Structure 1
């Protein structure tokens, strides 16, 4: 097969949730560079929006937010070919299980598990009807390597997302739709830097010591550093492309070697 890597997504429409910063922004940029029409979503419009990227303001942690995005994308663009469920995160307090309320669990699961489920449900019928489409679920190595002190609900939600993604793939692969999971380890982002600052202040240690403490908490990163957002984006760019046309139902871990088991 011959592929034009520079324009391999021409004619495709892609949605990247949480696509205004961090890995989401890098993924959106990567798909745009490959020729796709790219839509991003977040709660608030970024101060500086990249040219040629369409934006929809929506709170995807709520059912009405996901429905708004589905309706607007289908109304304005007609169809969706690529869905990257990148939105995710944890805002729960540290302190283990006893510090977590029902609200902490519910809001984390809404954002990290139910938002992708609802968006898939909104866009999959069109993909199945056309016999083509790609869905990427951005999970986390915490699905296998949970950090119980601070992100227990997040880890549980991402574990659920990995399981759901595999199950969904089994259902829709015979209908021409590919479903894949990408599980990053620690990514160098603005939110990650803010997390280090919180640790630094809480423990009265330097940022470098905070960074090392996170790496130690993960059991170390053999590659010696967190991933750059663009490195995660490059993997996603390949997986949604025609070059990956036979790949589905698989989880791809990109963690610099953090998980030590096979």
Structure 2
């Protein structure tokens, strides 16, 4: 990949990315956290306004009775809203992430997401984004003795960043489209663009996963995924009485959370377990 790193276009793109980071370094972490918790915030608010509908859905789906169905809604309501405010205020972030992680796991089982790969992959990506928030909250390891420097990297933080990057890939797996038809010549252009989108997206995903040109790759993915999200999941254009509005709204905020995770990658960098870090030792 050394040839890629020396390419003038890549070098110029890295300069642009560095300039963007310099100009946004004070607001990028906050914006990343806000985007990341957006899906939990929206779902918590939805639990409040759709209290009866959610209770009835759980009672009918699981036959668990009104009490357990009500408890499910209460846990989702206060757990998600509480976790969101804790993350935004940077107060007990580890507890907040554990709380939101528990909500994701509970919803995965309650809504039978385990049997739907697309929803399961998106929840895994959401967990990856939470791990990146947890990594951001961890301070570099302190020496046991004042004035004595620590040796080595903060390994837990590095592994959190690595796992978070890997899990974010699952979101992009749900965006890859494999619908090809050779019976409709008029659609050749659309098919070519679709293939191009899949290839470019897959390459960028791979670069983020292994931690090569990480900040640049993640920044491109932020722009690309944001564009796709506002184009494909424009729920605000759908009338409120149509069920499609809720589906698009769900997709929009989940994707926004993963965009927040990618912003966190841009802000934090790849961490110790990455090709970018190992290149410094060569």
Shorter-normalised TM-score: what interval? under 0.3
Higher relative contact order (CA 8 A, sep 6+): 2
**Structure (1 or 2) with the greater helix fraction:** 2
When Rg is computed on C-alpha atoms for both structures, the one with the higher figure is: 2
**Structure (1 or 2) with the greater strand fraction:** 1
- Could you state the TM-score of these two structures normalised by the residue count of structure 1? 0.28
- Could you state the TM-score of these two structures normalised by the residue count of structure 2? 0.26
